[in-house]
Chain A
Amino acid sequence: MSDPNLVPATPPGHNDVLGHVDSPPTLFMVYAAILALFALTVFLSSTGQFGKYTLFVQLAIGSVQAGLVAYHFMHLKHGDRIVVLTALASIFWMGILFVLFMSDYMSRSRVVG
């Protein structure tokens, strides 16, 4: 029995060239999960129960949503190592950007008064 998610081996060599083909049920489940997380963030935002931590909760949910998009829709799941490294490097450099300027801006009032 052949894997239905693999392209038929005609003409010869196409399996190697085309790689993995997405299964629609998986894509629809990921789609539903992203929309469900969106509904959750709208609900949590409208209640305001997290107070000053609301932004962090919203960004955490947004990160999970973006992660689902990157892993499934952008095919990091089946990505080459160099592609995964590039994607992670962008997050790493963004982290450096945030840490450096936030440590400056968020500590100014303490230093200057």
Chain B
Amino acid sequence: MSASTHSPVLKHHFGDLNQQHASERLGIWMFLATEVLFFAGLFGAYACYRLWYAAEFEFASSFMNVKFASINTFFLVTSSLTMTLAIRCAKLGDKSGIYRNLLLTFALGSAFMVLKGFEYAEDFHEGILPGASSFGVTTEQHNIKHEAEERGLDTGKVRLFLCFYYIMTGIHGVHIIIGLGCILWLVQMNYANALPPENYSTVEVVSLYWHLVDAIWLFLMPMLYLAGAHIPRLH
């Protein structure tokens, strides 16, 4: 007779809570392994074309908004910290602490997406788009298309970088939105008193997913935003 084998949190097909927690952790890590391989395909394709078309990729990257991306990095890394603190609060049975940290994480993740939205809007306005008919279409006289031509770069390869930019940040953004939904689910569970200390692993499972999304951003940031940070603009 112990809390480990007679808890209302314990699902009937597990022997005890330790086995349940270990299974939940292993399950989410297996899923994260597939996510790593999913993004590895994108990273590999990017690395390949970056090495082939270094000049065009670095040039296109110089048009990315490093300020927005840096603030977003701060948001995501901070949200990882608050998410980890939420697990700590769950283990200590601190219900208000769970609320506080989960809602902070949700706010930071939402702020990331809002800023991303502003960034996309700015990109659209400046014609930083991969489509043949939309690339460089802007009211500005000097835009990405004109500057690429002035530098004698292949605009097709510049547009290829922009394809990577939108696909990678778009897929990452979808992951953030899914993570935000999972965090709201945890908030609802906490409201329903369904996150007692012995059920901390539910918070941990969501947090593992959230951290992976954060870790992926730590690679996207240098690949997309910092590749051309050293290139001065002509105009």
| Residue B50 at the chain A interface, CB threshold 8 Å | yes
Where chain A touches its partner, the secondary structure class is helix
Contact A94-B37, Cβ < 8 Å, known A21-B88, A59-B222, A87-B29: yes
Contacts of B21 in A (CB 8 A): 17
Query: Once the chains are docked, how many angstroms separate the CA of A83 from the CA of B221?
Result: 27
| Residue B40 at the chain A interface, CB threshold 8 Å | yes
* Interface core residue of A11, A17, A54, A65 (most chain B CB under 10 Å): A17
* Interface core residue of B17, B81, B85, B204 (most chain A CB under 10 Å): B81
| Residue B96 at the chain A interface, CB threshold 8 Å | no
Is B40 a contact of A80 with CB atoms below 8 Å?
A: no
Query: A61's closest neighbor in chain B, by CB?
Result: B222
Is A41 a contact of B226 with CB atoms below 8 Å?
A: yes
* Interface core residue of A7, A12, A45 (most chain B CB under 10 Å): A45
Is B219 a contact of A66 with CB atoms below 8 Å?
A: yes
Is A86 a contact of B48 with CB atoms below 8 Å?
A: no
Q: Mark B50-90, 1 if CB is under 8 A from A, else 0.
A: 11101000000000001000100110011011011101100
Is A74 a contact of B73 with CB atoms below 8 Å?
A: no
Is A48 a contact of B33 with CB atoms below 8 Å?
A: no
Is A18 a contact of B222 with CB atoms below 8 Å?
A: no
Contacts of B173 in A (CB 8 A): none
Query: Once the chains are docked, how many angstroms separate the CA of A31 from the CA of B75?
Result: 12
A78 to chain B, nearest CB (A): 11
Give the bracket for the number of chain A residues in contact with chain B.
35 or more
A24 to chain B, nearest CB (A): 7
- A1-42 residues with Cβ-Cβ distance < 8 A to B are 7, 11-14, 16-18, 21-22, 24, 27-28, 31, 34-35, 38, 41-42
Query: A95's closest neighbor in chain B, by CB?
Result: B40
**Residues of B within 8 Å of A, CB-based: how many?**
59
Is B18 a contact of A16 with CB atoms below 8 Å?
A: yes
- Which positions in A face B, CB cutoff 8 Å? 7, 11-14, 16-18, 21-22, 24, 27-28, 31, 34-35, 38, 41-42, 45-48, 52, 54-55, 58-59, 61-62, 65-66, 69-70, 72-75, 79-80, 82-83, 86-87, 89-91, 93-94, 97-98, 101-102, 105-106
Q: A62-B221, A86-B30 are in contact. List 18 more A-B contacts (CB 8 A).
A: A14-B3, A24-B88, A27-B84, A28-B81, A38-B70, A38-B73, A38-B77, A41-B221, A46-B229, A48-B230, A59-B223, A66-B215, A73-B83, A75-B204, A86-B33, A89-B33, A94-B40, A97-B37
- Which positions in B face A, CB cutoff 8 Å? 2-4, 17-18, 21-22, 25-26, 29-30, 32-33, 36-37, 40-41, 44, 47-48, 50-52, 54, 66, 70, 73-74, 77-78, 80-81, 83-85, 87-88, 91-92, 197-198, 200, 204, 207-208, 211-212, 214-215, 218-219, 221-223, 226-227, 229-231
